[in-house]
Amino acid sequence: MNTKTVFFTIFIFLAGLLSFYPIELFPRETGEQPDQLADTLFRYELMTMSLDEVLNLEIEAGSYIPSSLADLPVSITIIDKNSIRMTPARTLMDLIEVYVPGAFFVNHWNGPRFGFRGVMGDQNTSYLLLLNDQNINLQTSSGAFFEINNRDLNDIESIEVIRGPGSVRYGHGAIGGIINIRTLSDSLTPGVSAGGGIKPLYRSGNAFVKWSLNKKQLSFSGYAGIDASRGIKNPGFFYVDRAHGYGYGFMGREWGNKGLGTPAPNFYSDLWGNPQKKLQLDFRYKKSLKFWLRYSDAYQEKQQQQSFTADGEEFPGLMGKLFMSVLSYEPSLSETFKLYSQAGYSSGSYRDISFYQGVNAPSDDITQRKASLGENTLFLKARLNIDLQGKYKFALGGNVKYLWLGPEAGMGKKDFVNSFPAPILFAVYDTLNSGFWDKYSDRGIVSYVDETIGAYQYSGFIEANLSLLPSFSVLFSGRMDKHEFSEPAFSPRIAMIAELSDRQRLKMIAQKAVRLPTFNELYTFNKVVGEKVDPEIKSGLELMYNYHMKTGGYLDVSLFYSSIDQIAWTSQNYPDVVGRFDMIGLEGGFRYEINKGAGKLSFSWIKQTRWDPVSSPGAWLSNIGQDSLTVDFKNYGENRLNNFPGYSIKYYHNHRLSESMQLHFNGRINWGYGQADMLNSYKEIHDTYGRDETRTEMENIYETLISYGYSRPSFTGSFSFSFAPAFLDQSHIRIYAMNILKINHIRYVYQYWEEGNNRQYPRQVGFVTEPASVSIQWVYNF
Amino acid sequence: MLAILLLNSCLLFSQNREYLIKAAVLEKMTRFIKWPDSGTMENKILVIGVISDTDETVKNFEQYYSEQTVQGKPVSVQSINNLENIKVCDILYISRIHSLPLEQIQNEVQNLPVLLVSEQPGYARKGTHINLLIVDNRLQYEINETLLRQGGFYVWAQLLNSAVIIKTGKEVL
């Protein structure tokens, strides 16, 4: 009997037990009816929430049917406005790492790569990033990309983070988790506030303004922000690069063993001095009709070596521009029926500047780009919610979306290029005027596409929430996602919720979640092979318990098990299952509230229980000056939790010092990193197969990495202090001290995932020593 | 069968929750408000008076405050039918369904340390201290900062952070 079967058996047993004996096990003395019971629990929930949490209470996360936090069939963390404003954070990523149990990110050269519960891909395609419930993942390649590098967080009202799968609610791609950013929306009465800040170490500054108008039934609000950053020059960027012969060490002119070293990339820097910008406008008519539009952009330097171009030495970079417009109509048809409908258009421009031409072209020439495209989307969504006296609730609906690829915003067809897998490789729309085609077509790496590259996606879903017994309800949910280039992907879920007492809930959730390969992979496989792709499937079981204490504390514990049939693009030039990956994990948290403050302590543990690769794991040993040596390499190839800490403890506390002063502290400890196994395995291999020269180098790399904290237990702590100065009426000043206490706090650069489960090490791997920094932010309400 | 069920359905659930949420918001807001020294906050019980033509607000407020204190004091929720009783209140909640003219209420509480809370668009401008409104299915609040200051209330900065601030004092009705 394998692990999955054991867990499933336990789950079914417990479910059956609760289904048959809920009343006997948990007798009630109050004689309350289901609605009253729900209100009682809801009341306790309200008592333990912060003001911001209560204000954001219309909770629908993880389910189509709104319910209270305690009844949601997901593990969720909500980061409220006060926490966002009080927490030292450079981007959304820092906030999530501070507040979400077990959440973690590493720095890929293309930007941050995020992981929840052991799921972390080499691209951000294993979780969904939503903005006001709209999926903003880049479909062609990187997954979550837009907004994650934005440094201005003043327009964010709250962030909802679902830990674990959720494609039954949010569609394909929600394997690892879901991040939903809620921005400031329409306000009630006229008002203007403005502010700005500086981060001296990062050589950055920002400014923003918010305003709102209200005329009877019509309201309007807006936000505009700008943030410029030159980044930290010469950060502690340690890099191993055996593939290009650079060597290893902290990057700089002296770095590199073949005279090839370059300065380190600037940390959190704009590309070519282009600041990040945001603009959002919200219009509302009455309660039911709303229209909003938003623009945001970010130009960023990649975390890579410098290159030489015709313009001189440059760091490669990425550019993202996102425009969204959404019209919502949500009328209450009656006490029983509520309709949710949306129509929208979005366009995301993506440019990957990789300097293929080197000194032969200016840095922004199209021949220097790996991709230059716009992802355009039109969508319609509709959902009907039916509520039968609060006891039986239903939701059903569907979405249709058309996505097509065009040139970047403001550019023509000649400027379009997109990097597909072989055999398409680089695709262009124009052969007569395309500089990219002119330069590379004779090498056989460019394909001309004479159709608009696009595809329809459909989804249908249904959910039923049945309060079968006074203390027991069942939630059935199902969703089908159909991409034009894929087979249908089904996401079923059953959640059983038992009220152990007024203050306690036990929930059990069984579900399957799906993820499709990237649009580029789907398109290539469909056009070349003529077949549709099967989705990656994650099966998950979760047992959750929460307890609202009389003292105001809130305890939540979650035990989960998941199994993924991992799909990747293989050497056969099609996406296929590369192995089965099983995990088990435990998360727990205790939130408390005292007289003048509140905080939370959380814990997470994750362990790989099985990895069955389809092909044999191996390694290509870097063998200086000679051919690579392929060796059998079981130990490391089997560790899929490579960059994850096995254990994590996080803590935060917000405290009111006086009527106008507030203090915040957060800290986290991580240990049990998978890299320890990786390092030891490679060292062992070099000891066994290497030559004296490689053994010596491996020994040096090993000791250097360890000495800087690689794979070792780490700690970091940050503070902030907020006050309203008496001499500046209506203003707030916040001072942030980030990573001010730290031990071994380094940010990993992504370890390349090699095709066919092979890995070369030490090839390209590294870290940045996270710096301690102080910054200040000021806000004035007019 | 389904049609009959639908026709017979009657949903009071959501309204209950609206007033529970409002009760919670009110309680959490009071953590950031300091009453003037002459206030009745010296008393051992905090009194929330509710002016409403329906029982809904009082019922839910009573339910919420049955196990919840405000500034460490037990709470008594009272339905206000006679304006004379206003004087014992620390907080006066004016429901959106009420038949008493706002001006009359204001005259009664003038110079008294009573926090006026309403839930009607425009009421903060017309002279209540705090106005709770539902926007986009979520609760927002307006604060008439000028009136609060004039009344001797002190408001913590955190409360103003999330509020729509009104600084015009009381508009002529």
Confidence of residue B41 (pLDDT cuts 50, 70, 90): low
pLDDT of residue A731: 81
The pLDDT tens digits for A3-28 are 555 555 555 555 444 443 333 333 23
pLDDT of residue A461: 97
Percent of chain A whose pLDDT exceeds 70: 85
Q: Stretch A320-347: mean pLDDT, rounded?
A: 92
CB contact under 8 A, B28 and A50: yes
Q: Stretch A104-127: mean pLDDT, rounded?
A: 86
Confidence of residue B109 (pLDDT cuts 50, 70, 90): confident
Sheet architecture: strand order including A418-419: A418-419, A426-428, A446-448
Residue in B13, B124, B165 nearest the CB of A390:
B13
Q: Stretch A170-176: mean pLDDT, rounded?
A: 93
Which helix H or strand E contains A408, and what residues bound it?
none
Question: Of A129, A130, A132, nearest to A112 (Cα)?
Answer: A129
Q: What is the mean pLDDT of chain B?
A: 76
pLDDT of residue A497: 92
229-288 of A, contacting B, C-beta below 8 A? 284, 287
Q: Find chain A residues with C-beta within 8 A of B21's C-beta.
A: 46, 54, 57
Q: Mind telling me how many Å the CA of A57 is from chain B's nearest CA? A: 6
CB contact under 8 A, A42 and B17: yes
Q: Mind telling me how many Å the CA of B49 is from chain A's nearest CA? A: 20
Task: Give dist(CA A707, CA A90) in Å, integer.
Answer: 27
Q: Stretch A607-622: mean pLDDT, rounded?
A: 71
pTM of the model: 0.81
β-bridge pairing B130-135 and B115-118? parallel
User: Residue A701 corresponds to which tokens in the numbers above?
Assistant: 């790399």
Helix A692-707, helix A675-689: angle, nearest 10: 160
> According to the 3-state scheme, what is the secondary structure of A417-478?
EEECCCCCCEEECCCCCCHHHHHHHHHCCEEECCCCCEEEEEEEEEEEEEEEECCEEEEEEE
323-342 of A, contacting B, C-beta below 8 A? 330, 335-336
pLDDT of residue A198: 97
Q: Mind telling me how many Å the CA of B135 is from chain A's nearest CA? A: 7
pLDDT at A696 over 90: no
Helix (H, G, I), strand (E, B) or coil at B96: coil
pLDDT of residue B9: 34
The pLDDT tens digits for A555-568 are 999 999 999 998 88
Q: Which residues contact B53 (CB under 8 A, 6 or more apart)?
A: B95, B97, B98, B99
Q: Find chain A residues with C-beta within 8 A of B140's C-beta.
A: 55, 187-188
Structure letter (DSSP) for residue B72: T
pLDDT of residue A763: 63
pLDDT of residue B122: 78
pLDDT of residue A574: 79
CB contact under 8 A, B9 and A185: no
CB contact under 8 A, B136 and A284: yes
Please tell me which residue of chain A has the smallest CA distance to B141: A188
**Cβ pair B47, B61 in contact under 8 A:** no
Q: Mind telling me how many Å the CA of A423 is from chain B's nearest CA? A: 49
Q: Within a 10 A sphere around the Cβ of B108, how many other Cβ atoms?
A: 17
Helix B56-65, helix B13-30: angle, nearest 10: 60
What's the distance, CA A234 to chain centroid?
A: 27
Please tell me which residue of chain A has the smallest CA distance to B33: A659
Q: Mind telling me how many Å the CA of A116 is from chain B's nearest CA? A: 29
610-629 of A, contacting B, C-beta below 8 A? none
Confidence of residue A184 (pLDDT cuts 50, 70, 90): confident
Q: A684 — phi, psi (to 5°)?
A: -65, -40
pLDDT of residue A541: 97
Beta-strand runs (E) in B29-171: 33-34, 46-51, 75-79, 91-94, 115-118, 130-135, 138-144, 154-155, 164-166
Cis status of the peptide bond prior to A263, with omega within 30 of 0: no
Residue in A212, A336, A724 nearest the CB of B11:
A336
Residue indicated by tokens 């929720």: B77
pLDDT of residue A486: 94
pLDDT at A246 over 70: yes
pLDDT of residue A284: 85
ipTM score here?
A: 0.71
Q: State whether residue A186 sits within 8 Å of chain B by CB.
A: yes
Task: Give dist(CA B90, CA A270) in Å, integer.
Answer: 54
CB contact under 8 A, B125 and A51: no
pLDDT of residue A648: 96
User: Residue A308 corresponds to which tokens in the numbers above?
Assistant: 């030489």
If one compares B38 and B79, the residue with the highest pLDDT of the two is B79
pLDDT of residue B6: 34
Q: Stretch B128-155: mean pLDDT, rounded?
A: 82
Q: Find chain B residues with C-beta within 8 A of A85's C-beta.
A: 161
For the ranges A12-26, A83-97, A247-261, A563-577, which has the lowest average pLDDT?
A: A12-26
Amino acid letter for position A111: G
If one compares A444 and A694, the residue with the highest pLDDT of the two is A444
Question: Of A149, A212, A213, A222, nearest to A183 (Cα)?
Answer: A222
pLDDT of residue A5: 57
Residue in A43, A336, A724 nearest the CB of B64:
A43
Confidence of residue A338 (pLDDT cuts 50, 70, 90): confident
Q: Mind telling me how many Å the CA of A162 is from chain B's nearest CA? A: 20
**Cβ pair A472, A499 in contact under 8 A:** yes
pLDDT at A399 over 50: yes
Please tell me which residue of chain A has the smallest CA distance to B160: A730
Q: Find chain B residues with C-beta within 8 A of A389's C-beta.
A: 9-11, 13
Q: What is the mean pLDDT of chain A?
A: 85
Confidence of residue A213 (pLDDT cuts 50, 70, 90): confident
Q: Mind telling me how many Å the CA of A782 is from chain B's nearest CA? A: 9
Q: Find chain A residues with C-beta within 8 A of B146's C-beta.
A: none
If one compares A392 and A98, the residue with the highest pLDDT of the two is A98
Q: Within a 10 A sphere around the Cβ of A762, how many other Cβ atoms?
A: 25
**Cβ pair A601, A588 in contact under 8 A:** no
pLDDT of residue B164: 63
Q: State whether residue A387 sits within 8 Å of chain B by CB.
A: yes
Q: Stretch A45-70: mean pLDDT, rounded?
A: 68
pLDDT of residue A29: 33
A51, A289, A548, A550, best to mutate vs chain B, most B CBs in 10 Å: A51
CB contact under 8 A, B138 and A39: no
Q: State whether residue A459 sits within 8 Å of chain B by CB.
A: no
Structure letter (DSSP) for residue A550: T
Question: Of B115, B155, B152, B164, nearest to A724 (Cα)?
Answer: B155
Q: Mind telling me how many Å the CA of A328 is from chain B's nearest CA? A: 11
pLDDT at A181 over 70: yes
Confidence of residue A520 (pLDDT cuts 50, 70, 90): very high
Confidence of residue B166 (pLDDT cuts 50, 70, 90): low
Amino acid letter for position B67: E
Q: Find chain A residues with C-beta within 8 A of B139's C-beta.
A: 54-55, 57
Q: State whether residue A481 sits within 8 Å of chain B by CB.
A: no
pLDDT at A583 over 60: yes
Q: Mind telling me how many Å the CA of A376 is from chain B's nearest CA? A: 27
pLDDT of residue A219: 81
Q: Find chain B residues with C-beta within 8 A of A287's C-beta.
A: 134-136
pLDDT of residue A532: 87
If one compares A27 and A282, the residue with the highest pLDDT of the two is A282
User: Residue A621 corresponds to which tokens in the numbers above?
Assistant: 């040993």
For the ranges A362-366, A395-399, A700-704, which has the lowest average pLDDT?
A: A700-704
51-70 of A, contacting B, C-beta below 8 A? 51-52, 54-58
Which helix H or strand E contains A390, and what residues bound it?
none
If one compares B106 and A121, the residue with the highest pLDDT of the two is B106
